[in-house]
């Protein structure tokens, strides 16, 4: 517990509380080893969250690129604009 506590300047009680939250969320698993409670990262939920976030990051990136294109077109005077195709 000391090795977790030192880098974050947190009390042992605060570290224990955070570990319990992570365990309830399914992000770590904890075992008993005499006086110790070793913890292990459970990567699957984090991978699923990362994939979900990546899907929406790509969606918003594409949407903002389209918006940038539209705004650029609007800056060009009307008589110099190319007609926009309807399929987008």
10-residue stretch averages of pLDDT, the chain, 88 residues long: 74 88 90 77 89 96 96 78 63
> Residue 11's pLDDT is what?
85
Strands (E), the chain: 28-30, 39-41
- What per-residue confidence (pLDDT) applies to 53? 96
48 and 78 both lie in a single domain: yes
Are 72 and 59 members of one domain?
Answer: yes
pLDDT of residue 22: 92
Sequence-distant (6+) residues with CB within 8 A of 82 are: 73
Residue 13 to residue 31: CA distance in whole angstroms? 18
Tally the domains of the chain. 2
d(CA 37, CA 30): 6
| Domain assignment of residue 33, given as a range | 1-41
CB within 8 A of 44, min separation 6: which ones?
none
Same domain assignment for residues 60 and 83? yes
> How many Cβ atoms are within 10 Å of 61's Cβ, its own excluded?
10
């Amino acid at each position: 517990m000391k090795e977790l506590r030192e880098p974050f300047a947190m009390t042992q009680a605060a570290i224990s509380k955070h570990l319990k939250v992570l365990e309830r969320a399914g992000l770590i698993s904890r075992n008993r080893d005499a006086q110790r409670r070793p913890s292990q990262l459970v990567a699957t939920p984090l991978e699923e969250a990362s994939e979900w976030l990546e899907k929406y990051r790509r969606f918003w990136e594409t949407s903002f690129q389209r918006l940038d294109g539209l705004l650029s077109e609007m800056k060009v005077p009307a008589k110099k604009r190319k007609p926009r195709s309807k399929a987008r």
